[in-house]
């Protein structure tokens, strides 16, 4: 079966939210879609609550993540990509809500510009409070960045998997890194948008509701050890990717230099950046000196701290 858009939804124990989400998908004004629900091994009654959708609307399909894909969001999404029939991909979460015209409006820019790889929209936050009340917040969005890769890396632009509609071929070229359990979207979209920094379309509308609640994976601060460790791993992977593919910008070099000087001390990665700026054209001597001097200072501080620790 050939469809225009494949909506890929990973789910895990969200029976209490998923029905409302599926209803919002079913209300789309654009009709040529399939929704692939990929269960990540949940133990609640998700299959029971979604069965009426599966029986009445054959655009909904239910799958269990095969063992060949790692457990987690990335594995479910990669599996969805591999079985999707659509030319375009919309990732969506099992607890959020689509505006009825989301797919229709985000497809529109592709018709007028064949060179773009994804479109992006704005979104609202739905905050569920402990007293049972609900608050909807509309943040301001600014998509007027010259280099979207820089903007995603630095966190200046608010893009996530739900706000983007992709050409499938670009996602198949890059794919999610299934070894990552946190920030996998940031890692993937940074890689894509450094290779294609301006090839996207903007839909200046609020087209979905992002639910924040006590069970939300994105709620709260990343304070636990695994998340900090993953953050360090991702930064090394991204820096190496940009270096190997000659995609660095001045902003990315400064970002990673600060990262490896201050937050995750890694002199070997700084040396790679120094080698990159020496070989590549267009980087100022001021930037090169910053890297060299910064490496010496950070190395001195590291040795000093190590020495002080040994005296305690």
- Whole-model pTM: value is 0.90
Residue 7 has a pLDDT of: 98
Of 213 and 42, the one with more pLDDT:
42
Q: What angle do CA 99, 138, 144 make, to 5 degrees?
A: 90
Nearest to 201 by CA among 141, 124, 112, 140: 112
Averaged pLDDT for residues 13-28: 95
pLDDT tens readout for residues 149-195 = 999 999 888 788 899 999 999 999 999 999 998 899 999 999 999 99
DSSP 200-256: EEEEEEEEEEEEE-TT-TT-S---SHHHHHHHHHHHHHHHHHHHHTT---HHHHHHH
Please give the Cα distance from 4 to 31 (Å, whole number).
Answer: 9
Percent with pLDDT over 90 in the chain: 71
Distance (Å, rounded) from C-alpha 143 to C-alpha 158? 9
Q: What is the mean pLDDT of residues 275-298?
A: 90
Res 227: pLDDT: 82
Task: Give dist(CA 11, CA 214) in Å, integer.
Answer: 16
List the domain boundaries for the chain: 3-212, 225-311
Which residue has better confidence, 218 or 43? 43
Which of 104, 86, 136, 94 shows the shortest CA–CA distance to 205? 104
pLDDT in tens, 224-275: 767 888 888 999 999 999 999 999 999 999 999 999 988 888 999 999 999 9
Find out whether 206 and 122 touch, Cβ atoms under 8 Å.
yes
Q: Report whether pLDDT(212) > 60.
A: yes
CATH code of domain 3-212: 3.90.550.10
The yes-or-no verdict on residue 207 having pLDDT over 70 is yes
Residue pair 32/3 in contact by the 8 Å Cβ criterion: yes
Strand, helix or coil at 135? strand
């Amino acid at each position: 079966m050939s469809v225009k858009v494949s909506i890929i939804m990973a789910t895990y124990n969200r029976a209490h939210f998923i029905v409302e989400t599926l209803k919002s998908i079913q209300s789309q004004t654009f009709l040529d879609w399939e929704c692939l629900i990929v269960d990540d091994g949940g133990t609640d009654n998700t299959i029971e609550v979604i069965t009426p959708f599966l029986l009445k609307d054959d655009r909904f399909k239910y799958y269990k993540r095969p063992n060949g894909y790692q457990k987690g969001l990335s594995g479910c999404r990669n599996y969805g990509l591999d079985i999707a029939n659509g030319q375009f991909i919309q990732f969506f979460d099992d607890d959020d809500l689509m505006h009825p015209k989301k797919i229709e409006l985000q497809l529109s820019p592709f018709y007028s510009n064949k060179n773009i790889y994804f479109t992006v929209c704005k979104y609202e936050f739905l905050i569920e409070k402990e007293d049972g009340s609900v608050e909807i917040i509309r943040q301001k969005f600014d998509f007027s960045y010259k280099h979207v890769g820089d903007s995603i890396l630095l966190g200046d632009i608010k893009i996530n998997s739900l706000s983007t509609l992709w050409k499938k071929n670009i996602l198949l070229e890059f794919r999610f890194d299934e070894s990552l359990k946190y920030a996998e979207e940031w890692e993937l979209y940074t890689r894509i948008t450094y290779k294609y920094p301006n090839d996207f379309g903007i839909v200046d509308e609020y087209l979905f509701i992002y639910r924040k609640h006590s069970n939300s994976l994105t709620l709260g601060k990343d304070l636990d050890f695994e998340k900090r460790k993953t953050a360090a791993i991702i930064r090394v992977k991204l820096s190496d990717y940009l270096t190997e593919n000659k995609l660095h910008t001045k902003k990315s070099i400064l970002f990673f230099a600060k990262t490896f000087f201050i937050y995750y001390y890694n002199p070997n990665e700084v040396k790679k950046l120094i080698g990159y700026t020496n070989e590549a054209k267009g980087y100022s001597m001021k930037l090169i000196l910053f890297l060299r001097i910064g490496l010496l200072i950070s190395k001195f501080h590291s040795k000093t701290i190590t020495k002080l620790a040994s005296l305690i």
